[in-house]
Amino acid sequence: MDKIVLEEDIVVYCITATSFPEGVLAAHQKLHAVFPVGERRFFGISRPENGVIVYKAAAEVLEKDKVEQFNYETLMIKKGNYRCMTILNFMEDEQRIGKAFGELISSPDIDRDGYCIEYYYNDKDVKCMVRLQDHDLQER
């Protein structure tokens, strides 16, 4: 496990999968039909809501975008410290993503209101990330 720091918030467009895990690929395919690979970052964002895992395929909003031109939900990936595991060639065994998140979320210092973030930094590899709690650094 590694730690990485997101220095800036990342705003993303989202398409919610119809189900998890069955609808994940279709959500990503819809997203890539509108936002081709190349100039923006792509993510998978998930967490349990009302006992069901809600999964969103996500593409980074770019400065040049006019947000109103795309009729998609937007969400913010919060800056901060993240615990991370990198999975190489994830398509060889997609179950490794779930296993990685199982390990990552077992840490007591994660942000319980955060998301499980998949950062697809190329077409074969993914960084699985969970945000850590903010700590007040000032002594009282």
Q: What pLDDT digit, counting tens, does each position of 34-60 carry?
A: 988 888 999 999 999 999 999 999 999
Give residue 12's pLDDT band: very low, low, confident or very high (50, 70, 90).
Answer: very high
User: Does 22 reside within a domain?
Assistant: yes
Please tell me whether the peptide bond between 36 and the residue prior to it is cis, using omega within 30 degrees of 0. Answer: no
Give residue 135's pLDDT band: very low, low, confident or very high (50, 70, 90).
Answer: low
**Mean pLDDT rounded to a whole number for the chain:** 90
Q: What pLDDT digit, counting tens, does each position of 91-132 carry?
A: 898 889 999 999 999 988 999 889 999 999 998 999 999 999
Total domains, the chain:
1
Host domain of residue 54: 2-131
DSSP per-residue letters across the chain? -EEEEE-S-EEEEEEE-SSTTTTHHHHHHHHHHHS-TTSS-EEEEEEEETTEEEEEEEEEPPTT--GGGS--EEEEEPPEEEEEEEETTGGG-THHHHHHHHHHTTSTTB-TT--EEEEE-SSS-EEEEEEBPP---S--
User: Does 33 reside within a domain?
Assistant: yes
User: Does 91 reside within a domain?
Assistant: yes
User: Does 139 reside within a domain?
Assistant: no
The CATH number covering residue 80 comes to 3.20.80.10
